[in-house]
Structure 1
Amino acid sequence: MTTTQQQLPSRLVFRTPATAVLGALLLIVTATPFAFAAPWLFLVYLVPIGAIVTVLRLRTTADADGLVARTVFGHHELAWTRIRALRVSERSWVRAVLDDGKEQTLPTVRTRHLPALALISGGRLDDPSEAPAPAAPVESVEPDAEVEDTAGQD
C-alpha cells in the first residue's frame, strides 16, 4: 500500500529569476560605445548596475513565522499575527494589510502566488482559489395552501 504524503516546504522564496541579470549585462555591452564617446558618459553604466542590484536584492521570503520583504535598501519582517489580509492591486501586486491598517508591499509576489502563501501560512491566510465550503443544507419548506387570485373581482 503506497501512501503519498504532501511535502510542505519549510520556506518559500519569491524573487525575480536570475536570468534577468543577462538583460542588464547585455545593456552594459551595448552601452560601451556610448560610454566612451565623451567624458562623464561612463555614468550610463549605473543604470545596468542598478538593475542587477535590484534583481539580486528584491525578494519575499515566507516561512512558518511570517514574511520577510527585502527591498533594495532594507527589509521588513512581518509576523503572521500582524497580517490582517492581503490586498491585490489592479496591476496584480500583492500587499500585506497589517493590523494597524498600514500596507506593506511584498516584492515579486503576484496573485498566482496566493495559494502557496496560504499553504505556507498554516491556515492563517485564506486560499482564494479554493472553492468555498458548502453551506448548511436549507430545510425544505412545504408550500402554503393554494392562494386564490381575487384581483379584479368585485
Structure 2
Amino acid sequence: MPKAVFRVPTPALLAAGLAAIAATPFAWSAPGLQAVYLLPAGFAAWVVRNRTTVDGERLVARSTFRTRVIRWDDVKAIKLTPKGWLSAVLRDDSLVRLPAVRAGHLPTLSLVSGGRVADPNAAAGPAEDAEPDQDATPPSVESQE
C-alpha cells in the first residue's frame, strides 16, 4: 500500500542550531538567561514533530502537541487556504489542518489516497487554441413542434 509522509524539511534544524550558537553570548551574559535556549529547542521540536502521513485508509496529522487520525470515509473535502496550506474538511464541517501539506502536494495526495482527492493536473486538458476555428459551427438548438 503506498504511503506518503509530508514534513518540514530537516535542514530547518540547521536554523535551530545556528540560533542556539548565536544566542550563546547573550545566554551566558547573566544568570538565568540560559532560558533563551528554549526558543531554538522549541523550534527544533516543532520541525521534528509536525508531519502528515497519508495512506489509502487514513490521514495522520501530527502537530506539536497533538496527533489526529482521520479515516478517509470521514473526510468530506480538502480545503486550500489562501496561503497554500491544506486542511481536511470532515463530515461535521470541522477543519483539521494538515501540517506540512501544501497545494503542490495535491498530485501526490491524489495518488496515495487512491483517487479520493482529485488531481488538479489530471483535470487540466490540452490547451485550446486562442482563436476559434473559422469552419466550426456552433451547436444548434433544435425544437420539436
TM class by shorter chain equals: 0.7 to 0.9
SS in structure 2 opposite 1:55? helix
- Which residue of the partner structure matches residue 100 of structure 1? 92
Normalised TM-score (structure 1)? 0.79
- Which residue of the partner structure matches residue 113 of structure 2? 121
CA RMSD of aligned residues (A): 2.0
Deviation at 1:29, TM superposition (A): 0.7
Deviation at 1:140, TM superposition (A): 4.7
Deviation at 1:131, TM superposition (A): 2.3
Question: 2:109 and 2:142 mapped to 1: Cα distance?
Answer: 47
- Which residue of the partner structure matches residue 50 of structure 1? 42
Residue 16 of structure 1 pairs with residue 15 of structure 2: no
**Could you say which structure has the higher helix fraction?**
2
- Which residue of the partner structure matches residue 3 of structure 1? none
Structure 1 residue identity aligned to 2:59 = L
SS in structure 2 opposite 1:68? strand
SS in structure 1 opposite 2:24? helix
SS in structure 1 opposite 2:108? helix
SS in structure 1 opposite 2:35? helix
1:56-71 superposed matches below 5 A:
56-71=48-63
CA displacement, residues 51-109 of structure 1 (integer Å, 9 cap, x when unaligned): 10000000000001110000111200011110111111111110000011000000000
- Which residue of the partner structure matches residue 147 of structure 1? none
CA displacement, residues 1-60 of structure 1 (integer Å, 9 cap, x when unaligned): xxxxxxxx6200000111110111011111000001111111100000001000000000
How many corresponding residue pairs? 131
- Which residue of the partner structure matches residue 30 of structure 1? 22
5+ residue gaps, structure 2 = 126-137
Structure 1 residue identity aligned to 2:60 = V
Structure 2 residue identity aligned to 1:141 = S
5+ residue gaps, structure 1 = 1-8, 134-138, 145-154
Question: 2:116 and 2:37 mapped to 1: Cα distance?
Answer: 45
Percent pairwise identity? 42
